Amino acid sequence: MDGTQFMTFHDLAYDAGKTDFQRKAEVIGVGREGELLEVAMGPQHPSTHGVFRMDVVLDGETVVKLKPVFGYLHRNHEKIAENTSYLGSMPYTDRLDYFCSLTNNWAYALAVEKLAGLQVPERAEYIRLITAELTRVLNHTCLAGFLLQDMGALGTPLMYAFREREKILDLFESLTGARMMCNYMRFGGCRCDLPAGWLAEARKVVAEYPKFLDEFDALLSGNEILMARTQGVGKLSAELAINAGITGPMLRASGVDYDLRKVDNYGIYSRYPFRVPLGDHGDVYDRYMIRMLEMRESLKILEPALKDIPEGPVVDPKAKLRGFRPKPGEAYGRIETPKGELGFYLISDGSPNPYRYRVRPPSLINLTILEDMCLGQTVADAVITLGSVDIVLGEVDR
C-alpha cells in the first residue's frame, strides 16, 4: 500500500451530506465496495484492553476505516461527583485510571487546592512526588508487558512486569491500606504519614529497579522481532499530535518536547533535574522506548527525593475535611500522569458539592487519532497501535 494517500477521519467529517457508502467508496477508491469486510473488534476481545470496541473496515487485511466505539464502561463519574461532596469524589478518582490511582488523586487534590487556596506542607509535597513517580514506573512497566502481550509474546513479559508491579503495590499497601484504590491524597496534603520503615523499603525497591529494567531491555528492547514488528508502525506526525491535543508519552514519541512536570512546575519537580526523552519517528517502537527511558528518569527523581524528605506535618492545618465549602469560583488543576495530561475542571457555587465537575482524560483524547494511525496498515498492526496508545477504559468512558 506504499504511496497511497488515505483520507482520514478528519477530512471526512466535513462532508456531512454524504452517506456512509459514499465516504467508504471515497476512502478506498470507487468500485471496490464488494471486497470490503466489516469487523467489530470488541467489546469482548483479548486485545482491546477492556471493553473498547473498534469497528474496522478491512480490504483484505488492510484497514481502510476504523471507528472507535466508547461507552461500554460509562460509570457516570462526573454526574456522581456533582451530587456528592468534594471529598466524596476522591475515591471515585481512583477508579478513573485504575493503574495510577495516586496520580489521579493528586490531580483532583490540586484542582480543589487551587479552588480553595490551600497550601501543601513540604513533607506532603515530597510524599506526593514519590508516590506519583512510583505510579509512573508501575504504569509503564505494566504497559510494556501488555504491549508485548498484544504482539504475541504471551506470558513471559507480562509475568515479569507483574512481578515488579507487586513490589510497588506492597509499598502502596503499607502506606495507604489498599493495593490499587489508594484514596490517599487530601486537600492540602495527604491522609496519613509514612509508616515506620517505609522509606527504607522504598529505597530498596528503587535501588533494585534498574536491574529489572536492564533485564527487560536485554530481553526485549533490541529484540529483532520486536523491532521488525513495531518500527514504522502506527506513525503519528508531530503536527497531527499537537492539533489533536495529544499529551504524554504519545506526544513526546512524536518529538514534541512537552512535559507538564517541566511546563507547569507543579509540586517540587523543579528541584530535581531529569531529562524528558523524545522520539524521532512517532511509531510504536518510539512509544515503547520513551516509556522505558521515562522509567529510568523517574528512578533518578526518586533516589534523591527519598533521601531529602523532611520531617513535618503532612496536611495543611487550615484544611478542614468536614463542612468543606470553597468560595464560588472555578479552577483547573492538571498534572502529568503516566498517560498524559489529566485535568480536573471544577466550578464551585459555594455549596458543599461542585456545581460542575469535569475530567479531561488523557486516554480518551489520545485515542481520538487512532484511525489516522491505523489506516493503510494490517489489522494486526492496528492491535499493537492501540496497545501503544496506553488506554484505560475507566478513564476513556468515565
Partner 1 sequence: MDDGLRNELSKQGVVVVKLEELYNWGRKNSVWPLSFGLACCAIEMMAASMARYDLARFGAEVFRPSPRQADLMIVAGTVTKKMAPQVVRLYNQMPEPKYVIAMGACAISGGPFKQGYNVLKGIDRYIPVDVHIPGCPPRPEALIHAFMTLQRKIDAQKLTGPDRARHLNADLPSEFPVPLFGEHDLVPSKNPNVWRPAVVVR
Write down the least CB distance from residue 153 to partner 1, Å: 15
Least distance to partner 1, CB of residue 306, Å: 24
The residues of the shown chain that bind partner 1, judged by CB under 8 A, are: 43-46, 50-51, 71-76, 79-80, 83, 91-92, 95, 98-99, 158-159, 162-163, 165-166, 179-181, 393-394
Give me the amino acid identity at 221: S
Residue ranges of the alpha helices (H) in the chain?
Answer: 9-12, 20-28, 77-82, 90-94, 101-116, 122-151, 156-176, 198-216, 224-230, 238-243, 249-253, 260-263, 284-308, 362-367, 370-374, 379-389, 393-397
Mark 340-374 as b/e (b = at least 16 C-beta within 10 Å): bbbbbbbebeeeebbeebbbbbbbbbbbebbbbbb
- Closest CB 179 distance from partner 1, rounded Å: 7
Q: Are 276 and 252 in contact (CB under 8 A)?
A: yes
Grid-cell match 502506527, residue found: 234
Q: How many CB atoms lie within 10 A of CB 203?
A: 14
Peptide bond into 195 cis (omega under 30): no
**Could you tell me the smallest distance in angstroms from the CB atom of residue 42 to partner 1?**
9
State the nearest-atom distance from the C-beta of 61 to partner 1, in Å: 20
